[in-house]
Amino acid sequence: MTHAGGGAGRAAAMRLAAAGALVAIHHTGDEQAADDVVRAIGEGGGCAFALGAELGGYGNVQRLFADLEAELTDRTGRADLDILVNSADDVDGVAPEHATPEEFDRLVAAGAKAPYFVIQRALRSLADGGRVINISRGAVEPVEPKAVAYAMAKGAVETLARHYAVALAPRGITVNSVAPGTTDDGERVGTVVAFLAGDDAGGITGAVFDADGSPVHGRPAG
């Protein structure tokens, strides 16, 4: 699970661990926050471990998954990945009239480039019947004036998810997105993620779930 040291990512990690999953808690530098999540999961009877890696480039993603697969093999005897939760990083917005090319590139890299290559690399080890769940902290709808570039990037990720849903349907892999929107209720996001990771959601793919309670859009799997 990427960027799982806090917020919606932490809530989702806690819920999946409570359901019996071995959870990899990824961080990009805040090792203490990731260790706190691992500790909290362990105190609740679950299993988790932390992995640190920047996700700004293709090579970083490759190294992250090499470390992940080695850790999974040591712990379980296999490198297969059953669930990928692709949680967005915390990114500060910038007013559209003030955005520089460098700031725009930073926002798009965090919001779209990193998730793209994470999903791409995960497909090497993602088991048939697996789950890909994207969590976006940035709202795609026009509710935050400073989130224009980031919202564009997250819109691209939702489009990516819909296309992957079709491409991966023959393998029984579902691809869905959860959009917290303006809510800070991580518990609600965790509940939606846990549902999408479970057997009852096996017939849902290409959907965007608004954790604020808006209607769900998507298509049946298969």
Instruction: Quote the CA–CA distance of 105 and 56 in Å, as a whole number.
Output: 11
The number of residues making up the chain comes to: 222
DSSP string, 45-56: T-EEEEEE---S
> Taking the CB of residue 191, how many other CB atoms lie within 10 A of it?
16
Cα angle: 196, vertex 200, 201; to 5 degrees = 35
Listed residue (183, 95, 114, 182) closest to 154, CA to CA: 114
Q: Are 129 and 172 in contact (CB under 8 A)?
A: yes
Q: Which two tokens stand for residue 122?
A: 């995960």
- CB-based contacts of 97: which residues, under 8 Å, 6+ apart? none
Active site residues: 150
